Homo-oligomer: A and B are copies of this chain.
Amino acid sequence: MDIEIVTIGTELLLGYTLDSNGAEIARSLGEHGVRVVRRTSVGDQSEEIREAVRGALERTGAVLTTGGLGPTRDDVSKRAVAELFGVSLRFDDAVWEALVSRFAKLGRVPVASNRVQAEVPEGATVLPNRWGTAPGLWLDSTRMATREGVRGLVIMLPGVPPEMRNLLQHEVIPRLVQSGSGTVVRSLTVRTTGIPESTLAERLGEIETDIAPLTLAYLPGEDGVDLRVTAWALPPANAERRLRVAAELLQARGGEHVYGEGDTDLATLVLESARARSFHIAVAESCTGGLLAKRLTDTPGSSDVFRGGVVAYDNALKTSLLDVPLELIKRHGAVSEEVARAMALGAARRLDADLTAAVTGIAGPGGGTPDKPVGTAWFATALQGDVATLRSVIPGSRPEMRARAAQAGLYLLIRRLRSA
| A interface residues with partner B (beta carbon < 8 Å) | 9-20, 22-28, 30, 35-44, 48, 51-52, 55, 59, 70-74, 102, 105-108, 110-114, 131, 160, 162, 185, 187, 196-199, 201-202, 208, 215-220, 228, 230, 283, 285, 288-294, 296-298, 300-303, 306-314, 316-317, 320-321, 350-352, 363-366, 373, 375, 393-400, 402
Contact = CB atoms under 8 A, between A and B. Distances in A.
B303 A308 contact: no
A260 to B, nearest CB: 16
A371 to B, nearest CB: 12
Nearest to A376: B107
A289 B292 CA distance: 9
A313 B218 CA distance: 37
Would you call the interface of chain A mostly helix, strand, loop, or mixed? mixed
Nearest to A189: B16
Contact of A19 (B18, B114, B394): B18
A310 B108 CA distance: 32
A308 B300 contact: no
Contacts of A317: 307-308, 351-352
B23 A20 contact: no
Nearest to A43: B37
B15 A198 contact: no
A226 to B, nearest CB: 10
Given A11-B217, A185-B14, A217-B10, A313 B308 contact: yes
Contacts of A314: 303, 306-308, 351-352
A370 to B, nearest CB: 10
Nearest to A24: B15
A15 to B, nearest CB: 3
B22 A15 contact: yes
B43 A48 contact: no
A10 B230 contact: yes
A216 B216 CA distance: 43
Contact of A302 (B105, B307, B313, B395): B313
Given A198-B72, A397-B131, A16 B27 contact: yes
Contacts of A18: 18-20, 23
A315 B403 CA distance: 27
Given A11-B217, A290-B290, A198 B71 contact: yes
17 contacts: A9-B217, A12-B26, A22-B41, A40-B41, A72-B218, A74-B215, A162-B396, A288-B294, A290-B291, A293-B311, A297-B313, A297-B363, A298-B399, A302-B313, A303-B313, A308-B310, A308-B317
B313 A366 contact: no
Given A72-B198, A314-B303, A350-B320, A23 B15 contact: yes
B41 A13 contact: no
A65 B35 CA distance: 22
Contacts of A220: 70, 160
A283 B290 CA distance: 11
